[in-house]
Amino acid sequence: MKSLLALVALACVANAFPTTGDQAPFTVDYKHPGFDWDLSAQRLVQIQGQPPVWMSELEKIQAKARGIKFFDITDTPDLGTLPRVKANGSANHHGYNASTQVFPAPAFPSPNATEKVEPILKKLSTDGPRKNLQHFTGFRTRHYRSDTGKQSQAWLKKTITEASSLQGFLLTQSHTAADNITRINGTSTTDDGIVIIGAHQDSTNMWPFLPAPGADGYDGSGTVTILESYRALLAADFHPERSIEFHWYSAEEGGLLGSQAVAQAYEGRVNVLAMSQFDMTAWVKSGTREEVGIITDFVDPALTEFNKKLVDMYLDIPWVETACGYACSDHASWGKAGYPSCFTIESAFGNSNKNIHSMNDRIDISPEFSFDHMLEFSKLAVAFAVELGGISD
């Protein structure tokens, strides 16, 4: 029965884009200057509730256009397959190395570091995000298979490196898509876990060869939001007990390729206490109240409740519960690997930016695009880092 449903799902994507007369919008052998991409290449794709199926890159594009969310597991088929230990009667959220390493289940107490967090919040500004996003959206597209996508990755790496000159350490994770990863080293000599704050750096149009500035979705706003948090932490001479890593994933738009590769590299080897994803942080729909969308499906419940408490304590706007579905952003890769992950977005999902995956996803398209709103999410990332990372004495 599951195989039949999978075939039905694939059949649905065939009509994703109607043709006009004899002119079909897509052909498998389509080539475009500036792209290194074989649309006929076969990829192994995981759709919710279905066994993995093979489909071409073209079929992946069509599936995404139909709103079908998926993992492309071609390069990471074993992610999430390591055995788990049990804790408090439920599955532990940490993998372990089959030799000896076992990671204990985390606990997330109520936030209690106000006197340490608030001075760092004062160092946040909208100036850096505005400048960085103006440059970042200047690339024709940040699609991971495009020349301009590779150029945007290099520019972001250079920008992170400049920020890291204070005390951060830039790492790289090479695979089918280049991620940018940086770390603020912790002072603790015990392995009590690391904290990860993430966003994805790529963008795509619904038809990937068209321009995709990706100012908000997907995910220029999240990229510069966490970059500003990273800068403020370093400017405050932040020395955490736990190491804090900031991740900018590539190829999220291709089926969470970048985050899956990193999560697989960490699974069973690195004790990740918590991961927080920032994807779309700039939009305030006209006629609605300003708010933080707290994703409640396919996330860790305890970490999500902790995230709500951070919003209550440190932000000037309230949270609202919302849902985004299966494999909707990079937190899903960490959840699949067994690590606690959470996800915050710019609003309730129904009020989020509708210009995504189009040429109109720009910072100047509407007054609804708000750098002040983004700043609230930079506050949240700082609070997440300090409250879970601690500050060494």
Question: What is the pTM for the complete model shown?
Answer: 0.88
Q: Are residues 20 and 151 in the same domain?
A: no
What is the pLDDT confidence band of residue 272, given thresholds at 50, 70 and 90? very high
Query: 102 lies in a domain?
Result: no
C-alpha 391/C-alpha 354 separation (Å) is 40
Q: Are residues 274 and 355 in the same domain?
A: yes
What is the pLDDT confidence band of residue 99, given thresholds at 50, 70 and 90? very low
Q: Are residues 176 and 30 in the same domain?
A: no
Query: 104 lies in a domain?
Result: no
CB-CB contact of 283 with 373 (8 Å): yes
Query: 86 lies in a domain?
Result: no
What is the three-class DSSP state of 351? helix
Per-residue pLDDT for 310 more than 80? Answer: yes
Q: Which amino acid is at 23?
A: Q
C-alpha 27/C-alpha 42 separation (Å) is 15
**CATH code (residue 321):** 3.40.630.10
C-alpha 31/C-alpha 209 separation (Å) is 9
Q: Are residues 135 and 242 in the same domain?
A: yes
DSSP strand pairing (244-249 vs 292-295) = unpaired
DSSP strand pairing (319-322 vs 244-249) = unpaired
pLDDT of residue 83: 54
Listed in sequence order, the DSSP H helices in the chain are: 2-13, 57-65, 114-121, 127-136, 147-164, 220-235, 257-266, 301-314, 331-336, 371-389
The whole-number average pLDDT for the span 190-216 is 90
Q: Are residues 174 and 272 in the same domain?
A: yes
pLDDT of residue 227: 96
What is the pLDDT confidence band of residue 166, given thresholds at 50, 70 and 90? low
Peptide bond just before 249 cis, omega within 30 deg: no
Q: Could you list the residue range(s) of the whole structural domain that residue 14 is in?
A: 2-68
Count of domains forming the chain: 2
Q: What is the pLDDT of residues 242-265, one digit of tens each?
A: 999 999 999 999 999 999 999 999
CB-CB contact of 324 with 375 (8 Å): no
Q: Which value, in Å, is the radius of gyration of the alpha carbons in the chain?
A: 20
Token pair in block for residue 217? 């979705």
Closest CA relative to residue 161, chosen from 227, 242, 252, 235: 227
Task: Give how far the C-alpha of residue 344 lies from the chain's centroid of Cα atoms, to the nearest Å.
Answer: 10
C-alpha 59/C-alpha 54 separation (Å) is 10
What is the pLDDT confidence band of residue 286, given thresholds at 50, 70 and 90? very high
Token pair in block for residue 379? 């506050």
